[in-house]
Amino acid sequence: MSILPLHGQDGQRTPIDVNLIIDGSSAYSGVRDEISAWLSGRLDQILADGDRVTVWSAGPTARVIYSGVMTSSAERESVKRSIRENNASGNTADFSSALNEAAGRQSSGFSYTLLISASPHSISGKTANQLRYSRVEEFPNWRALVVGLNLDARVKRATDSFFISQP
């Protein structure tokens, strides 16, 4: 299995798909400013020209609140504004639909998916299965999950390859 480099010969990173899934339940309202500030700094670190960014608000139903290609600082500010202005309502967050849609939109060889949950309820069922290849960062009233989308087939191929090569 070969891994394509993210940086080309000129040192520029190959554009990637960036998915941000933000809790749209009422639990988000109390931590909106903290999350917006944290995400603003994180986005400044990870976004590069050419990246395709989609932002979902995962409320009672998941909906796209921003979609675009990063070509300027104005585009980056539009992403940040969509996060700051995310309207929260209801008691549930439909993370599963947003994750499914994000997985289906992957157009490059690499994607970065960040899910922000402010809900005090644990993530379970189908959504928990979608998050099995994730890294979680806990904050006092919310958590950030870097989600490995579409990894099942890659993990299975790597496992099969490993066991086949063993004597």
Supply the CATH number for residue 68's domain. 3.40.50
Instruction: State the average pLDDT over residues 44-70.
Output: 94
* Residue 27 within a domain: yes
* Residue 67 within a domain: yes
* Residue 120 within a domain: yes
* Residue 137 within a domain: yes
What pLDDT is attached to residue 90?
87
* Residue 161 within a domain: yes
Number of structural domains in the chain: 1
**E strand segments, 59-162:** 62-69, 111-117, 134-138, 143-147
What pLDDT is attached to residue 163?
65
Is-above-0.85 flag for pTM? Answer: no
* Residue 38 within a domain: yes
**CB within 8 Å of 130: residues ≥ 6 apart:** 95, 96, 99, 100, 103, 147, 149
Residue 131 φ/ψ, nearest 5 degrees: -100, 10
User: Is residue 35 a contact partner of residue 104, using CB atoms and an 8 Å limit?
Assistant: no
Q: Pick the residue with more confidence: 30 or 159?
A: 30
Q: Which of 11-15, 16-20, 25-29, 97-101 has the lowest mean pLDDT?
A: 11-15
* Residue 41 within a domain: yes
What pLDDT is attached to residue 12?
76
Answer yes or no: is pLDDT of 159 > 80.
no
Which domain range does residue 99 map to?
17-165
* Residue 112 within a domain: yes
